Structure 1
């Protein structure tokens, strides 16, 4: 029995509006470049690197955008819950519910790269509790499970 989150997950323009509202409520500005980076990231169906995002934004903007600029924006987005980082892949995914603060679990397919995001507060609370019991202050737990997705496993 899992203690999973169940809520509406906006997509497209609704997701961008939710991200903008979350960023602005954190006291940050939603600039044209930040909107472009978020939009590019949200368009990927798999986790994307800063270089992938910079290339996509460069195409859209019609000018070269440096990965360093994208990294700075992604760091801000991770800190404000708009984006989640898949640490093992050094890649990013747009948070489908940026207004909801919680830890998440990623299931990462080693064959196709597809990444599935799970919410399970019982499990992630257990990780935080175990860290705290060891005298460690957990700031941003990252739980990733590597393996094969159902599509790749059936092939």
Structure 2
């Protein structure tokens, strides 16, 4: 379960890329040129991005075609290493701004503009895990998504 008493360091820019590289290497994977390019593209989006969006951004940056299938494989590695978060209902991804911190995901997704806010509420996440366990279910990766309208769109 998540630690209820911790402080998040939200990385940006080069520090974000360094934190992602460290997290990926800590999971036993290599930080290759292509993985760095995919991460840079992912981190450049201010909203969740699809593998196709990311493939297009990398293709433009690299001046060669990069297939979405290759990007999906890298995103799977990123998700497993806590470098990226997947917005299940949108089949899209966000760079995790604090990859050194492991906890369950809670997302607020605006159906108007697409803005997605990642919340850290360990009490709520722990409650979901406890409810699942009461039913004899072993929760491995709870993801909570709340769809609606942000303050701007409401």
- How high is the TM-score relative to the length of structure 2? 0.95
- Secondary structure of 1:53 counterpart: helix
Give aligned pairs, total: 151
**Alignment partners' CA distance in 1, 2:7 and 2:38:** 27
User: Which residue is equivalent to 1:97?
Assistant: 98
User: Which residue is equivalent to 2:127?
Assistant: 126
Matches within 5 A, 1:1-155: 6-153=7-154
Give runs of ≥4 in structure 1 deviating > 4 Å: none
Change (3 A) 1:36 1:103: same
CA contact (8 A) 1:46 1:115 kept: yes
CA deviations 1:33-84 (Å, max 9, x no partner) are 0001011000000000000000000000000000000000000111110000
Q: CA RMSD in A?
A: 1.1
**Alignment partners' CA distance in 2, 1:4 and 1:112:** 33
- Secondary structure of 2:130 counterpart: helix
Give the Å deviation of 1:132: 1.1
CA deviations 1:102-127 (Å, max 9, x no partner) are 01210000000000000000000110
**Alignment partners' CA distance in 2, 1:20 and 1:93:** 15
Instruction: Flag structure 2 segments of 5+ consecutive residues without an equivalent.
Output: none
